[in-house]
Amino acid sequence: MPVSSASSTHLLIPFAGRSTPACREATKSLRLPRLESLLARLALEEEDIQDDGTLSPPHERALASALGIAAPDGQIPWGALEARSAGLDGSGGSWGIATLCHWQVGIDDVVLGDPGAIRIDASESDALLDLARPYFEEDGIALHAGAAPGRWLVQGPVFDGLATASLDRAIGHPIAQWSPLDDGARPLRRLQNEMQMLLYTERVNDERTARGEPPINSFWLSGTGRLPADPRPQEAPPKVAEDLREAALRDDGVAWAQAWTALDAGPVAELLAAYHAGAQVKLTLCGDRAARRFGVQPRGFTAWARSLVQRPSAPAVLEAL
User: Domain ranges in the chain?
Assistant: 10-54+235-319, 78-225
pLDDT tens, per residue, the chain with 321 residues: 555 444 569 999 999 999 999 999 999 999 999 999 999 999 999 999 999 999 999 999 999 999 989 999 999 999 999 998 888 876 678 999 999 999 888 777 889 999 988 889 999 999 999 999 999 999 899 999 999 999 999 999 999 999 999 999 999 999 888 987 676 778 788 888 888 888 888 888 889 989 999 999 899 999 999 988 776 666 788 999 999 999 999 999 999 999 999 999 999 999 999 999 999 999 999 999 999 999 998 765 445 555 555 678 999 999 999
- 253 neighbors 192 (Cβ within 8 angstroms): no
Amino acid at 151: R
pLDDT the model gives residue 6: 46
**Cα 163 versus chain centre, distance:** 15
- Digit-coded pLDDT (tens) for 10-37: 999 999 999 999 999 999 999 999 999 9
pLDDT the model gives residue 133: 94
The Cβ-side half-sphere exposure at 265, using a 13 Å CA radius, reads 6
pLDDT the model gives residue 303: 54
Helix axes 122-138, 186-200, angle to 10 degrees: 130
